[in-house]
Amino acid sequence: MARIRTLEMRDIVKDFSGLRANDGVSLKIEAGEILGLLGENGAGKTTLMNILFGLYRPDGGTILINGEEVVFRSPRDAMQRGIGMIHQHFMLVQKHTVLENVALGFEKAPFFFPLRQVRRRLAEFSYRFGLAVRPDEPVWKLSAGEQQRVEILKALIRSSDLLIMDEPTSVLTPRETAELFDILKRMSGEGHSIILISHKLDEITRICSRVQVLRKGKVAGEAPMGEVSAEDLARMMVGRRVADSYPKADLPPGRVVLEILDLEAQNDQGAPAVRGVSFEVRENEIFGIAGVSGNGQQELVECVTGLRRASAGAVRLLGREITGLSPRQIHNRGISHVPEERIKFGIVPNLLLYENAVLKRHHRQPYSIRNIMNYPAIRRHAGDLVKSFQVATPSIYSPMKHLSGGNIQKLILGREISADPVLMIAAHPTYGLDVGASEYIRGQIIARRDRGGAVLLVSEDLEELFMICDRVAVMFEGRIMGIVDPRSGSFEEVGMMMAGAVEAAGGEATDAV
């Protein structure tokens, strides 16, 4: 089959149950190019690439290779036409050796003694592209960088001309990143094309020959690398400010409620995720944390709520140390928490609404008295929540899983607000909700602030943060890049920090109030 000289995607449309993930996206790449695909989470980058790799079928639009239309029914079709994809999470069999992983699913391998032939080819490719791997080592012993090289070799041996890499550097050390970029340059020199999905500006500028930016499912811009500045890209990525702020009472911030000092924590893989974060949240204040998800926000919130142990630093609530306390102790001291992934963490789908209405507070009076649940009081409380937080449900006896996402979130928010917390933490509270529900929830968060509450709001939605926050901190790779006042700060400034391109001068000193 002919090598890929040009590949074109034209007017690709893809809907996910009413949500348009790709809206008329076109993309073109030629042999030897490294194309950077830039955009925030949810901009549609991964969806577009999954379509190119045959994982999804587009609802509209066409794909052309060398000017000729192709239809991919599955990744197998795409691979046969020379397209390879390396996912963020590697698809390797951990207990098998490198060689076995490469041979697995390699169609040209002979039926008998496949490894002998594959070993030869592996050595050949690994020499040609400078991809050092140890063929007989089991995969679980390899570093992330080495595993990635195995994935690249797998694609190359299957004669992939076009390689799609989804956030390839997110698991790599800076040294491994540099090595990867050398390999990619070598590949492009041999006529391979590469599409690099990323949200990191510096990487795109370092390696790509051309860049295309997606925003909210559409193409926001496209240019050869030399013709755009990092500022241009940041602006294309985050867009313009459209909405106005919500009305807020004009209140000066009160006493310090939450104080975080040089906090450090590791993620589940043991890699540093929060790297020396300090800030404080006051009464009458909504403190926002912006950033592409996966930059330590989740670990930060988990440290404050007691779900994760900090490896260094301190968390104080009203001047008292709460670092290392259990989630229950921290809740008892007055921190309430609207968790991200609300269905996974925030509710018990198979229990009834009223049983969910006291989750996390079920151990306190009046909901349980001396270890006996007080269901009449619980049902009364559930009824009040449903009424005052406009939860649409047939009754408080409905299983929680029958409620829509927006109504689940209203119940969680109501539950957490009604505890009258000293500090409320809300992580991505409007993610995936419709406009009406989002507005309602933002209004409730502001009402909490206006009544003297302190709110820590983590969100990926910059518009939302600018609309309701009093201050917005930007997290990138576990650090706070700067703190911005939404009234005077600009989207571009925050966009640059989110992509790790600038560290605001003075960092925490931009504490403008």
Binding stretches for other proteins (CB under 8 A): 57-58, 71, 73, 306-307, 326-331, 337, 339, 344-351, 355, 359-360, 362-363, 368, 371-373, 375, 399, 402
Would you say 247 or 376 has its CB closer to other proteins? 376
Would you say 204 or 338 has its CB closer to other proteins? 338
Say if CB 129 and CB 156 are below 8 A apart: yes
Report how many helices (DSSP H) and strands (DSSP E) the chain contains, helices first. 16, 22
Would you say 100 or 416 has its CB closer to other proteins? 416
Cα-flanking dihedrals φ and ψ of residue 12, to 5°?
Answer: -75, 130
Residues in the chain: 513
Of 294, 292, 256, 299, whose CA–CA distance to 277 is shortest? 299
Would you say 344 or 487 has its CB closer to other proteins? 344
Question: Who contacts 204 (Cβ-Cβ below 8 Å, separation ≥6)?
Answer: 36, 38, 196, 198, 211, 225, 233
Closest approach of Cβ 157 to other proteins, in Å? 29
Say if CB 322 and CB 330 are below 8 A apart: yes
Would you say 6 or 374 has its CB closer to other proteins? 374
Closest approach of Cβ 203 to other proteins, in Å? 33
Cα-flanking dihedrals φ and ψ of residue 454, to 5°?
Answer: -105, 135
Element (H, E) at 428: none
Report strand pairing: 312-317 vs 256-266.
antiparallel
Would you say 104 or 343 has its CB closer to other proteins? 343
Closest approach of Cβ 329 to other proteins, in Å? 8
Closest approach of Cβ 370 to other proteins, in Å? 9
The rounded distance, in Å, linking the Cα atoms of 290 and 304 is 17
Closest approach of Cβ 326 to other proteins, in Å? 6
Torsion sign, CA atoms 120, 122, 128, 132: negative
Would you say 322 or 330 has its CB closer to other proteins? 330
Would you say 77 or 477 has its CB closer to other proteins? 77
Closest approach of Cβ 97 to other proteins, in Å? 26
Torsion sign, CA atoms 364, 369, 370, 372: negative
Neighbours of 511 (CB within 10 A): 14
* Angle, alpha carbons 366-370-376 (nearest 5°): 40
- First-residue to last-residue Cα distance in the chain: 64
Torsion sign, CA atoms 65, 70, 72, 77: negative
Residue 463, both tokens: 């518009």
Would you say 68 or 250 has its CB closer to other proteins? 68
Closest approach of Cβ 373 to other proteins, in Å? 6
Closest approach of Cβ 378 to other proteins, in Å? 10
The rounded distance, in Å, linking the Cα atoms of 105 and 123 is 18
The rounded distance, in Å, linking the Cα atoms of 9 and 61 is 7
Closest approach of Cβ 302 to other proteins, in Å? 10
Would you say 115 or 307 has its CB closer to other proteins? 307
| Beta bridge partner(s), residue 122 | none
Closest approach of Cβ 344 to other proteins, in Å? 5
